[in-house]
Amino acid sequence: MDTIHASVLLDEVVQGLLLKDGGRYLDCTCGLGGHSEAILEGCGPTGRLLAIDRDPDAIQLARGRLAHFGDRAEIVEGNFSDVRTYAEATDMVPLDGVVADLGVSSLQLDDAKRGFSFMREGPLDMRMGPKVGATAAEMLEELDVKDLIRILRDFGEVNRPRQVAEAVMSARDEGRLNTTAELAEVIERAIGGRKTTPIHPATRAFQAIRIAVNRELEELEKLLEVLSELVAPGGRVAIISFHSLEDRLVKQAFGDPAPEPQPFKLPVEPERVLGPWEAVTKKPIVPSAKEVASNPRSRSAKLRVAIRRGPEGA
Ligand SMILES: C[S@@+](CC[C@H](N)C(=O)[O-])C[C@H]1O[C@@H](n2cnc3c(N)ncnc32)[C@H](O)[C@@H]1O
């Protein structure tokens, strides 16, 4: 395969899932199929995998890569928020294990015409599923300055979000915002040039706009809501996130619900309410220095693993 996407934390995901022979597995973010392939190799000759991705280019490449597993691999194009529909339709419930490796792939980042990269001149698109929803250009056309400030601040922790938002809005209104390079230049000028930050000044703003275009946090919230109903007791979930907002949602979902606030102090502690998941990783697993050196895009990855509790919280 010519297109390369180095799968992040591959061994750690496989170890975290404790694959078993004949198990049923789900890869929510198939991409180029690296995690899918490792799972299929590790779950014996009758183990099965359902892999989902919203990107038809990724699906096509993954189908080629996983073809030799025959009908043990089911690959569907769609959003992982619709996982219940896909898992039920392919007879995969209850699942023994799930992986989600969030964010974008190198395939998407490196292809200029997908519009994800400020390093490459391309249209302002940024959709992971290029047939669905508004492009970045269309979204920016609809936003007012307040919305854009919120997106830049909340999804990218961008420095000087107001200056950036105002500069982007005026470039848009003057018709100067048609390509990724134009957007990157506007942001760079508003933030004050490259010397002030170790990373390119447009990095965080591009991330923020991409998250908004693809409704990434809503997708993750919906996935986390439904997963506990699809995974068998004792089944495992491994989620790799790439920024703090995603990691916070995963950490919360894998934790126990906060105790009800008590109007006055009780003589005994209120009983602890257990959630559906028991976290295996109290702290997230991060890539080794060796992995980061060979794949710099892995540097912000955080992996959390949890086990589905049984009916008695076992
Ligand atoms: C980091 S890549 C996955 C790489 C893959 N694990 C591998 O080893 O090749 C993330 C993939 O998830 C897909 N994706 C992100 N959000 C999605 C969603 N809500 N529904 C379906 N696919 C999604 C992207 O299109 C992208 O291909």
- Select from 14, 28, 29 the residue to mutate for testing ligand 1; criterion: most ligand atoms less than 8 Å from CB: 29
**CB of 55 shorter than 6 A to ligand 1:** yes
pLDDT(314) > 70: no
| Cα distance from N-terminal residue to C-terminal residue, the chain | 44
283 with 145, same domain: the answer is no
User: Which is higher by pLDDT, 191 or 53?
Assistant: 53
Ligand 1 centroid – CA 190 distance (Å):
31
Of 4, 7, 114, the C-alpha closest to 51 is 7
**CB of 35 shorter than 6 A to ligand 1:** yes
98 with 174, same domain: the answer is no
**CB of 53 shorter than 6 A to ligand 1:** yes
CA-to-CA dists, residue 102 to 30, 205, 300, angstroms: 10, 18, 12
**CB of 298 shorter than 6 A to ligand 1:** no
Domain boundary among 213, 232, 249: 213
pLDDT(163) > 50: yes
Average pLDDT (219-248) is 97
5 within domain boundaries:
no
Tens of pLDDT, residues 174-201:
998 999 999 999 999 998 765 555 678 8
Of 108, 74, 79, the C-alpha closest to 90 is 74
Reply yes or no: is the peptide bond before residue 94 cis, omega within 30 of 0: yes
**CB of 36 shorter than 6 A to ligand 1:** no
63 with 144, same domain: the answer is no
pLDDT(1) > 50: no
Q: Which atom of ligand 1 is nearest to the CA of 5?
A: 9
* AA letter at 282: K
Tens of pLDDT, residues 64-119:
999 999 999 999 999 999 999 999 999 999 999 999 999 999 999 999 999 999 88
Kindly report the protein residue whose alpha carbon is nearest to atom 12 of ligand 1: 29
314 within domain boundaries:
no
Ligand 1 centroid – CA 28 distance (Å):
7
251 within domain boundaries:
yes
86 with 136, same domain: the answer is no
188 within domain boundaries:
yes
118 within domain boundaries:
no
Of 163, 217, 219, 223, the C-alpha closest to 188 is 163
pLDDT reported for residue 313: 59
Strands 302-308 and 231-241: antiparallel
Kindly report the protein residue whose alpha carbon is nearest to atom 3 of ligand 1: 31
**Phi, psi of 116, deg, nearest 5:** -90, -20
220 with 206, same domain: the answer is no
H or E element, residue 26: strand 24-27
Q: Which atom of ligand 1 is nearest to the CA of 220?
A: 19
DSSP string, 231-296: EEEEEEEEEEESSHHHHHHHHHHHSPPPPPPPSS--SSPPPPPP-SEEES-SS-B---HHHHHH-G
**CB of 128 shorter than 6 A to ligand 1:** yes
Of 29, 221, 223, 215, the C-alpha closest to 134 is 215
156 with 233, same domain: the answer is no
Q: Which atom of ligand 1 is nearest to the CA of 128?
A: 25
Domain boundary among 162, 183, 213: 213
135 with 15, same domain: the answer is no
135 with 209, same domain: the answer is yes
CATH of the domain at 147: 1.10.150.170
Ligand 1 centroid – CA 53 distance (Å):
6
Ligand 1 centroid – CA 197 distance (Å):
29
Model confidence at 258, in pLDDT bands (50, 70, 90)? confident
User: Where in the sequence is the domain holding 149, given as residue range(s)?
Assistant: 130-213
Share of the chain above pLDDT 70, in %: 93
pLDDT reported for residue 219: 98
- In angstroms, the CA 171 to CA 186 distance is 7
Which residues touch 204 (CB under 8 Å, ≥6 apart)?
A: 152, 156, 157, 158, 159
144 within domain boundaries:
yes
CA-to-CA dists, residue 2 to 36, 61, 126, 215, 297, angstroms: 18, 10, 22, 30, 19
Of 312, 297, 303, the C-alpha closest to 247 is 303
Of 244, 81, 36, the C-alpha closest to 156 is 244
3 within domain boundaries:
no
Tell me if 133 sits within 8 A of 142, measured CB to CB. no
Structure tokens at 80: 């992982």
Counted domains in the chain: 2
82 with 143, same domain: the answer is no
CATH of the domain at 56: 3.40.50.150
Over its C-alpha atoms, the chain yields an Rg (Å, rounded) of 21
The dihedral over CA atoms of 164, 171, 188, 116, expressed in degrees to the nearest 10, equals: 100
**CB of 80 shorter than 6 A to ligand 1:** yes
Q: Which atom of ligand 1 is nearest to the CA of 35?
A: 8
Kindly provide the residue ranges of all beta strands, DSSP E only, lying in 82-163, ordered along the sequence. 95-101
Strand partners, 123: 179
120 within domain boundaries:
no
60 with 93, same domain: the answer is yes
209 with 220, same domain: the answer is no
pLDDT(246) > 70: yes
Domain boundary among 180, 213, 246: 213
102 with 228, same domain: the answer is yes
Q: Taking the model in full, what pTM does it have?
A: 0.93
**CB of 241 shorter than 6 A to ligand 1:** no
